[in-house]
Structure 1
Amino acid sequence: MSERVVKPVGRGFLFLDSHPAGCARVVRDMAAEVEGRPAERRTALVIGSSSGYGLATTIAGLARYGIDGIGVCFEKAATARRTATAGWYRTAETAALAAELGRSWTFVNADAFADTTKDEVLQLVADKLGKVDHLIYSVAAPRRTDPRTGETYQSVLKAIGAPHSTKSLAFEDGEPVLQEAVPIEVANDDEIAQTVKVMGGEDWTRWVAALQERDLLKPGFNTVALTYIGSELTGPLYRQGSIGAAKADLEQTALKLAADGVTAMTSVNGAAVTQSSSAIPGIGLYVSLLHNVTPLQSPVEQSVALWDQLTGATPLDLDDEGRIRLDRWELSDEVQDAVRARWQSATQDNIAEVADAAWFLAEVRRLYGFDVPGVDYDAETEVDVEWPAATATGA
């Protein structure tokens, strides 16, 4: 037992500790957003199941359709100095939720890029699920070591073609600060190629191929990689930048898989506050402005819509390039015109009015289990939480 009072300590949008009880409550709050539906047993493999849209997709599938599955993520346990990562605590609570619902879920804590991880996970698929109906790929990583070459690749957040600067949102002593011109460097060809290697579609392809080789795909199998397009306001750094090159590679990968007979698509999600997005210059400001213009559809709401489409409960909402679009609410002309006007008019004097900065900061803190209603942050909490064992087999 290792109980202590956990307080938020960190720099910027990065916290060194996470609150176990707060992270657990976040999982329960996400599950409470979902209305269950009776359905035949389905199985899923979720790569990147502990945070962001991968977590939302895991919880939505479990709570809405009772999906059995295996989740793969890469988290750190508690040490003598630090708590476990937020994803560790969220995974433990997701497993508890699955057990209460009588579903079969196993969570593997390992490097999703490694062939050894694929071997372990596919054996679990064979032993616990038989075969899979769905593969959800939601991986955001700073680096990747290719197990077949031993080479390590590093992703970068840079522009392509010409230098760029962007407005961005920071905080000093909890107060919003508008940064007028954050410089964005230009990526060279090697940096772009490495970013594609880390966050593009190569590893997704390898997961699909590994499942095929072991005959672990059910008839009607489908797979989606979760992605984001976003606004023209963030485009020079995101969609037209080095990360955008990786996202474009994901989309091309979907087309190649489809040409080989696999039902594969990318799912374009709407804006959300995630541990990945909060680190990107300009995204915090954009999402804060967006929240003041229109209610955001939560990651769980969008994930419910995704599962409804993947299971055939509702028709696929595809664009002309075959991508599932869950972001239409964000990219409507009316919404984008309003956000653009606020972006252009934002100054340090009016930032608290045109942008919902306080909400954004609270959402970032929630990623680490802080600022969650109903949690006593002055009480001691157990930080040494065990990685969850596999839950019981679902009916």
Structure 2
Amino acid sequence: MTERVLIPRNRGFLFLDSHPAGCRRVVEDMWQACPAPAEAPGGDGPVALVVGSSAGYGLAATLAGLKRAGIRGIAVSFEKAPTERRTATAGWYRTAATADIARAAGRDLVFLNGDAFSDAMKDQVADLVERRFGGRLDYLVYSVAAPRRTDPDTGAAYASVLKPIGAANRTKTLVFDDQGAPEVREVETAPAEGDDVEQTVAVMGGADWERWIGHLAGRGLLAEGFTTAALSYIGSPLTAAIYRQGTIGAAKAHLEDTARTLDERLAKTVGGRAVTSVNGAAVTQSSTAIPGIALYTGLLRGVLGEELVPPIRQLAALWDQLTGAAPLAQDDEGRVRLDTWELTEEVQAAVAERWEAAATGTIAGLADLDWFRDEVRRLYGFSVPGVDYAAPVATGVPWPVPAP
């Protein structure tokens, strides 16, 4: 197995390699940070499917499901294997670490690597549910963020874009130069044109989530009381023009409409339910690509400090609500709200004041830059406390193979 010393190399927020030991430690730290239930889950546990399980909120959903609900089942992600020249993607290493945690917890969790949008993956999952998990699925958590999707029926390829709707948007954003010095810039994003909105909705809306439910229902695999949740985000008025009121926001609105349709259907067929879960802000590989979000998140951390609620604690709360251990906290539109800590008037006013004052010369005193910079690096397994980055590390970590 190849071993080498890995030095972080990046272009902006994108890193070229990931660190296996650092990624493993990130997962282990998340596991420790997840609150243990008052009573350890017993028995075989409910059968769950997490689609998009290797990063961000999907990873948190997988780990929190294991610890809070004792789930078994299937986790799906799309990651690149290591090669002679490059490490695997960070999600590959995180998945290997998650598999070890599931095994140590005595939970039968199978990890599949492939295109979640494809019917081939849906068939593979359905076959596993039939032959390995008793033919019944209790939960599905959907957490997919992707730039492209191919429609299995038509073969049409769609690409999502990050654009405002109606008019160009000019906003502040946070970048770091080659030496790691912070800079606040103003960037302008041109408005959506042509079929940009439709393309983005086709990728990031509810079509694939609904297809997963339809595929599994068609095979008779939904248990009585089957519950599904798709993870979403609303965010601050400061970022609304590029996010909630932009092309991605149109996709999120479609996701919420899909939840209402699925909820009615599942209630009639299996006594089940479907919801969207609106999560709070976090540093993820997806969020760092959105203009303004990096600046907003750094400022939010500057306001809240340790009171900023990490994804693992949010998803622990979601699993409690999905399983009935806690009441389902829904808003008037039927969305589960895990972001209330972020969107209070007091917090948003404080962030808005800092946003107005944010400039290259002032940002260090307004945002928690050290935290934000380290959070970005931890996405790839770097800047993780307790990891010896001077030591060679094995990069050829295999994909986890389930026990017979």
Question: In which range does the TM-score fall when normalised by the shorter chain?
Answer: over 0.9
2:225 pairs with one of 220, 225, 231: 220
1:343 and 2:348 aligned = no
Amino acid in the other structure paired with 2:362? N
Amino acid in the other structure paired with 1:188? E
1:99 and 2:103 aligned = yes
Matches of 1:47 and 1:288, distance apart in 2:
28
Q: In the alignment, is the contact (CA less than 8 A) between 1:366 and 1:372 conserved in 2?
A: yes
1:9-48 counterparts in 2 under 5 A?
A: 9-37=9-37, 38-40=40-42, 41-48=45-52
Matches of 1:158 and 1:65, distance apart in 2:
38
Structure 1 residue 188, shift from structure 2 partner = 1.5
Amino acid in the other structure paired with 2:379? L
Structure 1 residue 214, shift from structure 2 partner = 1.1
Structure 2 equivalent of residue 284 of structure 1: 294
- Does 232-241 or 60-69 show the bigger shift? 60-69
Mind listing any 5+ residue stretches in structure 2 that lack a counterpart?
none
2:258 pairs with one of 253, 269, 279: 253
1:299-314 counterparts in 2 under 5 A?
A: 299-314=311-326
1:345-384 counterparts in 2 under 5 A?
A: 345-384=357-396
Structure 1 residue 217, shift from structure 2 partner = 1.2
Structure 1 residue 381, shift from structure 2 partner = 0.4
Q: In the alignment, is the contact (CA less than 8 A) between 1:318 and 1:325 conserved in 2?
A: yes
Q: In the alignment, is the contact (CA less than 8 A) between 2:35 and 2:313 conserved in 1?
A: no
Matches of 2:327 and 2:180, distance apart in 1:
44
Tell me the TM-score normalized by structure 1: 0.97
- Structure 1: 4+ residue segments shifted above 3 A: none
Q: 2:276 aligns to what SS in structure 1?
A: strand
Structure 1 residue 259, shift from structure 2 partner = 2.1
Matches of 1:149 and 1:349, distance apart in 2:
52
Matches of 2:260 and 2:152, distance apart in 1:
25
Q: 1:233 aligns to what SS in structure 2?
A: helix
Structure 1 equivalent of residue 138 of structure 2: 133
Structure 1 residue 391, shift from structure 2 partner = 4.5
1:4-33 Cα shifts (integer Å, max 9, x gaps): 111111200000100000000000000001
Amino acid in the other structure paired with 1:20? P
Q: In the alignment, is the contact (CA less than 8 A) between 2:69 and 2:320 conserved in 1?
A: no
1:96-144 Cα shifts (integer Å, max 9, x gaps): 1011111000010000000011001111111222211110000000000
Give the total of aligned pairs: 391
Matches of 2:182 and 2:132, distance apart in 1:
49
Matches of 1:258 and 1:121, distance apart in 2:
22
Percent identical among aligned pairs is 59
1:328-353 Cα shifts (integer Å, max 9, x gaps): 00000000000000000112111100
Structure 2 equivalent of residue 169 of structure 1: 174
Q: In the alignment, is the contact (CA less than 8 A) between 1:98 and 1:391 conserved in 2?
A: no
Q: In the alignment, is the contact (CA less than 8 A) between 1:36 and 1:65 conserved in 2?
A: no
Matches of 1:49 and 1:358, distance apart in 2:
27
Structure 2 equivalent of residue 57 of structure 1: 61
Matches of 2:35 and 2:346, distance apart in 1:
30
Structure 1 residue 35, shift from structure 2 partner = 3.0
1:84 pairs with one of 81, 85, 88: 88
Tell me the TM-score normalized by structure 2: 0.95
Mind listing any 5+ residue stretches in structure 1 that lack a counterpart?
none
Structure 1 residue 278, shift from structure 2 partner = 0.9
RMSD: 1.0
